[in-house]
Amino acid sequence: MSNTLFNSAQALDSALADTVMTTLCDAVAERGKATLVVSGGSTPKALFNLLSTKAGPWDAITVTLADERWVGLDHEDSNEAMVRRELLKDQAASATFLSLTPAFPDSESNIGQVCEQLEQLPPYDLVLLGMGGDMHTASLFPCAAELAVGLSTGAPALMTHPTSAPHSRVSQSLARLLKTRRGIVHIVGESKLDVLAAARATSDPTIAPISAFVEPAGPFEVWASR
């Protein structure tokens, strides 16, 4: 798939915000609704703020996360809280948000509810993923005992317990994330570009989970800046 490289994070975020909004508007025009899957962390915050100012059919758009830390909504590490704060405001305030922690803190009940909700959704219209320095994406960590399940299961979500990062996680599975009409990996910085190159060279998702999504094996586009 295509690779788009920008000289600054600002230029990347501006172009990507326009592309995301166009993709969602086209989906709503064609099917009456759209679903956007986003990632947490610090990288997408500026993008989310730009997206929130874009006029569009937000009341027909459902937003959910690729993964979530197993914390309450009031915790500083909550991805949902960040998305609500940075994206679901201004023009985007009318979007529907689908939580990955609807039954927190009951993990068994929670994963059942999440799987049921995600199974009811059609193919996503757009999935935006990030990538960690250890080549993980969503919460499919190379250090997690659950990685093999996350890469192979037909279930849409699972709990993971990375040893290299705080908190247990709820993560969408590889199969569910690939069930999308368009996928983009959003990367900022030379160091992340080097990690991506190493992941592509390895091309083994048990070592570099991101390699299951990007070329040569995966269908996701890469949008990056130096």
Closest to 132 measured CA to CA, from 181, 198, 81:
198
- Give pLDDT, residue 57: 98
Residue 11 has pLDDT above 90, yes or no: yes
- Of 153 and 217, more confident: 153
- Give pLDDT, residue 33: 98
In a domain, 2, yes or no: no
215: which 2 tokens?
A: 């070329």
In a domain, 30, yes or no: yes
CATH code of the domain covering residue 157: 3.40.50.1360
- Of 2 and 6, more confident: 6
Distance between CA atoms of 71 and 141, rounded to whole angstroms? 18
Instruction: State the average pLDDT over residues 35-64.
Output: 97
Mean pLDDT of the chain: 97
Q: pLDDT, tens digit, for every residue of 178-199?
A: 999 999 999 999 999 999 999 9
Question: Would you say 133 and 189 are in contact if contact means Cβ atoms under 8 Å apart?
Answer: no
Residue 1 has pLDDT above 70, yes or no: no
Longest distance between any two alpha carbons in the chain, whole Å: 45
Alpha carbon dihedral 176, 21, 51, 133, in 10-degree steps, equals 40
Instruction: State the average pLDDT over residues 168-172.
Output: 98
Distance between CA atoms of 166 and 184, rounded to whole angstroms? 25
In a domain, 223, yes or no: no
In a domain, 28, yes or no: yes
Number of domains making up the chain? 1
Q: pLDDT, tens digit, for every residue of 100-154?
A: 999 999 999 999 999 999 999 999 999 999 999 999 999 999 999 999 999 999 9
In a domain, 152, yes or no: yes
Distance between CA atoms of 220 and 2, rounded to whole angstroms? 8
Question: Would you say 187 and 131 are in contact if contact means Cβ atoms under 8 Å apart?
Answer: yes
In a domain, 224, yes or no: no
- Of 69 and 217, more confident: 69
